[in-house]
A and B are shown apart, each in its own frame.
Chain A
C-alpha cells in the first residue's frame, strides 16, 4: 500500500510539473531593474523644463495677451456663471489633475509660503526645502518614506507684472509686496522610483503633455459656451479675440520644447537602457501595503 501511495504521489507531481512548466503558457513578463537607468532627478529636470515653457506661454501669450483683447481669467473659472479661463496657477492645477488620471505615477503640485489659497501653504519638510530653494534657487531632491516617493522641488518665479499685480491686489493674499523675479512658490514633483528607463521617461513625458492638452481642452470646452465665444483655430489672443485650437496649442508646445527636450533625450539615449516600468496602480498599492 505504501508503495502504491508513493507512485500515486510521483505521478501527481509529474502531472503538476507538466501542468505548470511543460504545457504552461509563456512566463509572465518580468520587470527588471535597469542596468543603466536614468536617475529620476534627471527626469524631473526634463519635465520641469517642459512645464516652464508651457507656464510662460500660458502666462504671457494666453492670459497676458488675452486680457488685452477681451478674454477673462478668474480663480472661479469653473463656476457655471463665470465666463473666464484658468489663471496660471489654476492651469497648472488642471494639468496636475489630468496627470493623476493617467496611469503614469507622476504627481505635480504648486505651493508657496505665502499662497493666495491657504490650502497651498508649505509646511514641515516641504517648507524647509522651499526655504533652501528660495535662498539658492537650486532644485531640492528628497525622499518621502511614508509614501515611498522621490520628490523634486523647483522654484516658481514671478515672470511678468501680471503675476505680482494679481497676488499683491488679491484680498486673500497674505503678502502684498511681491516684486518681479521673486520666488513666489515652488512646483513639487513626485515619482515612486529612484531611476527610470528611457521608455518610462518617454511615457512620463507623454503623460505630462497629455496633462497640458486636457487642461487646455477643458478651457476650450468652457470658452465655446461663452455668450460671445472667441474664435478658436489658428490665431492667438495677441491677434484679437481668439484662442488657438488644441492642435495649434500643442503644436506650439512641441515646437518650443523640442530643442531642449530632444537634446536631453539624445544625451540619455546614448547609454543603453532597460525597462523598470512602474504604474500609478502599483504606486498606490505600495502605499496600501
Chain B
C-alpha cells in the first residue's frame, strides 16, 4: 500500500475528529433528557405532556454488562434462563396504575382477568390499559369505537330502571353507541346522570373527548392522577 502524503493524512485526521464530535453530539442528544422528544415514538397522550421517558420506561434488572453476560452464559449453556428483559422493562398496567389507581374505578383492568371475560379479552383486551390508551398517539383514548360495552353488557338487566327508555330496550335495539352518552367508563367524574335518553351526550362529543378534547362529563373529578406515581 502506498503511504499517504502529508496533505491527505491531515484531511483524514480532520475527518476522524469531525466524525467523533458528530457521533458524540448525537449520542448526547439521545441520552440526555433534552433530546427525549426526538426519540419518542410519537406525541404524548392527553395529560402526559410533562412526563419524562423514565416515568414509564424503567430499567430492567442489572446493568447492560450483566444482561449481556447473562445472555452469553445462557448461549454457552452456563445459565438456565436468559434475562427476561434487556435494557428497559416493557411498560405494563402497573406503570399506569402508579398514577391512575383509584378505589372507585368502575372498570379496573384486573377485573377483566377473570376467566369469564375471555371473549371480551379476545375482542378488546380490556385487561391491559394500553388496549384503549395506547401511548404516543397524542390522544386520550385510542380505541376507535364507542360501542364497546356490547362485549360484556349484552345480558345486563335492571329490575328498577331509572331512565325513560329502559336499558333492556336500548340493548335490544343494539344502541351501544348510547352508553357513553350517560356513563363515564372509569366513573371518576362527579356528574348527574341523565334520566332521559334523548338528553344524553352526542357521540361526536364523546369522540372529541377521546381525541383529547374537553370532557363532556364535567371537570370535577373524584380522584386526580398522581404526579409521577407520587
Contacts and interface: CB of A to CB of B under 8 A. Distances in A.
Interface of A: 1, 19-21, 24-28, 30-33, 78, 97, 100-101, 107, 109, 111, 118-119, 121-127, 144, 146-147, 149, 151, 171-172, 188, 190, 218, 280-282, 284-285, 287-289
Contacts of B145: none
B66 A25 contact: yes
Contacts of B97: 101
A287 B80 contact: no
B83 to A, nearest CB: 6
Contacts of B128: 284, 287-288
Interface residues of B, number: 47
A118 B69 contact: no
27 contacts: A1-B1, A21-B69, A27-B70, A32-B80, A78-B103, A78-B104, A97-B108, A107-B110, A118-B157, A119-B152, A124-B118, A125-B116, A125-B118, A126-B114, A144-B118, A149-B113, A188-B114, A190-B114, A190-B115, A281-B89, A281-B92, A281-B94, A284-B92, A285-B85, A285-B89, A285-B90, A287-B127
Interface of B: 1, 61-63, 65-70, 72-73, 79-81, 83-85, 89-90, 92-94, 97, 101, 103-104, 108, 110-111, 113-116, 118-119, 121-122, 127-128, 152, 155-160
A190 B127 CA distance: 14
Contacts of B156: 118
A144 B115 CA distance: 7
Given A30-B79, A281-B92, A151 B115 contact: yes
A119 B84 CA distance: 36
A117 B1 CA distance: 86
Given A28-B62, A121-B155, A109 B114 contact: yes
A107 B116 CA distance: 14
A284 B103 CA distance: 20
A172 B158 contact: yes
Given A190-B113, A285-B92, 5 more contacts: A26-B66, A171-B159, A172-B159, A284-B92, A284-B93
Contact of A188 (B63, B67, B115, B127): B115
A21 B66 CA distance: 9
A20 B122 contact: no
Contacts of A144: 115, 118
Contacts of A123: 116
Contacts of A33: 80
B63 to A, nearest CB: 6
A193 B153 CA distance: 31
Contacts of B113: 107, 147, 149, 190
Q: Which 6 A-B pairs have the closest CB atoms?
A: A284-B92, A123-B116, A126-B116, A126-B115, A100-B110, A28-B62
Contacts of B61: 28
Of B93, B122, B128, B158, most buried by chain A (CB within 10 Å of CB) is B93
B90 A28 contact: no
A24 B160 CA distance: 68
A24 B67 CA distance: 11
A118 B116 CA distance: 13
Contact of A30 (B80, B104, B108, B152): B80
B132 to A, nearest CB: 15
B105 to A, nearest CB: 9
Contacts of B160: 171-172
Of B73, B90, B101, B115, most buried by chain A (CB within 10 Å of CB) is B115
A151 B116 CA distance: 12
Contacts of B63: 25
A144 B122 CA distance: 12
B69 A27 contact: yes
A100 to B, nearest CB: 4
Nearest to A170: B159
A122 B80 contact: no
B118 A146 contact: yes
B155 A124 contact: no
B67 A28 contact: yes
Nearest to A123: B116
Contacts of B84: 282, 285
A24 B72 CA distance: 13
Nearest to A147: B113
A109 B108 CA distance: 13
A109 B80 CA distance: 35
Contacts of B114: 107, 109, 111, 126, 188, 190
B104 A288 contact: no
A101 B109 CA distance: 12
Contacts of B110: 100, 107
A147 B62 contact: no
